[in-house]
A and B are shown apart, each in its own frame.
Chain A
Amino acid sequence: MSSSWNIIQQSLPMFEKGFVLTLWLSFVGIIGSIIVGLICSLVQYFKVPVLHQIASIYIEISRNTPLLIQLFFLYYAFPVIGIKFGAQLCGIIGLIFLGGSYMAEGFTGGFNGVTKSQVESGKAIGLSRWQLAKYVVFPQGFSLSVPAMAANVIFLIKETSIFTVIAIPELTNTALDLIGMYYRSNEYLFVLVVGYAIILIPLSIILTLLEKRVRYGSFGN
């Protein structure tokens, strides 16, 4: 029986692939989520008729159902009605479907966090609704939403671990596959946890620093 270190070493190239895939899917999913979230929050802020109601319904459905079921639906149920995607595309769509609503709530929370008196001061100098949004509500609202955004980014990266259920070979799936093949759970789980730690610990430190910066930058009034 080979030593733990050997087992780990031999598995590293496979983990590397899983690691890169986790990063890539997270990246695409987060960017997509931010775009969807931004659109939804703007539609809600300006109360665009119809779209605003659609956004609300989407947000409630997305936030109140598990990603795993959303993925099963996309991957197993949709082909029955003739809509078929590959596993990775399903994963990305699912992650954006989930993340879009979290990001939308984050932005909306930021916009709502801009105080009433700030809005009134803007009105008092004659700003139009659009100018008020552009010069007062959005700049302040975005910095207020940074903590929620940061939490969402971490959350979405962790959620990619669920992709293993539709056999996308990301980090978790790689580990589970290896355990299934070689039955060395300690070693592979160790590498798996380290893999997530390498992504998430530096990221959460960076995001915390960013939050502090933003807070200092805009809460001084």
Chain B
Amino acid sequence: MAHSGISVLLEGTNFTRLLGGLWVTVKIAAIALIVGIVLGIILGVLRTFKNRPLRLILRLYLEFFRIVPTVVLLFLFYYILPRQMNFNLPADQLATLVFALWVAAEMSDIVRGALISVPKHQRESGMAIGLNRYQLYRYVLIPQAISLEIPATINLATRVIKTTSLLMLISVMDVINIGQQIIEANNHSHPTGVFWVYGLIFLFYFLIDYPLSWWAKRLEKKRLERANG
């Protein structure tokens, strides 16, 4: 017997299962962001140092993550870590690792960009009053770079959240994977269920990402207004 599609969401535990999947998605994104941002800040600061080989290595690291599509990154880690290095991780932890490394790469570029855009005379004034390198970064450069970094970092977060949609490809039980299971299980009774399940997931993503990108836009606008006096 065929029901109207939308009721598939309310049947049994379907809705709570989807929310559970969403939680997995959000958790992976959140941990990857926290780890990646911290690592990225360190790498970004290192990239402003004069040491050439270090800068080159970090640049290559960034470019690798920039060139290789995230889908491919996931599969590289998914196949190569366990088989070549005998390093077995559950799929969700593996995905968190990949995302964190990717976030670190992107974040290092955001941080570096913000740091080098602090006017040169600020750096010189700091050195002129005898600050050492750590103090220079801690009290002069990083505080001024932060207002530049925050909108870009929020935008990076929205990208990471969108990219979590790829988790299903390596069999993480995320919101999309659970959605597919529900669709398949109810295909017979709710032939239009697919529309509503994907519709709901679509909405979930939008509800998480839209406020974030709105926030980033607002901060950026304020910053530009301040910069233009």
Contacts and interface: CB of A to CB of B under 8 A. Distances in A.
**Direct A–B contact in complex, judged by CB atoms less than 8 Å apart:** yes
A159 B169 CA distance: 14
A73 B206 contact: no
A69 B194 contact: no
Interface stretch (B34-42, B76-84, B119-127): B76-84
B165 A69 contact: yes
B1 interface: no
Interface of A is mostly: helix
Nearest to A176: B75
B93 interface: no
A196 B67 contact: yes
Nearest to B71: A161
Given A76-B194, A77-B199, A185-B83, A162 B206 contact: no
Range of interface residues on B (Cβ < 8 Å):
35 or more
Given A63-B213, A64-B158, A189-B80, A80 B206 contact: no
A68 B191 contact: no
Contacts of B164: 66
A164 interface: yes
A65 B70 contact: no
Interface residues of A, number: 37
A68 B176 contact: yes
A58 interface: no
B84 A186 contact: yes
B201 A69 contact: yes
B165 A68 contact: yes
Contacts of B201: 69
B198 A164 contact: no
B210 interface: yes
A176 B72 CA distance: 10
B162 A172 contact: no
Contacts of B168: 68
B192 interface: yes
B205 A80 contact: no
B202 A65 contact: yes
Given A64-B213, A73-B198, A189-B75, 5 more contacts: A64-B205, A65-B162, A172-B69, A186-B83, A196-B68
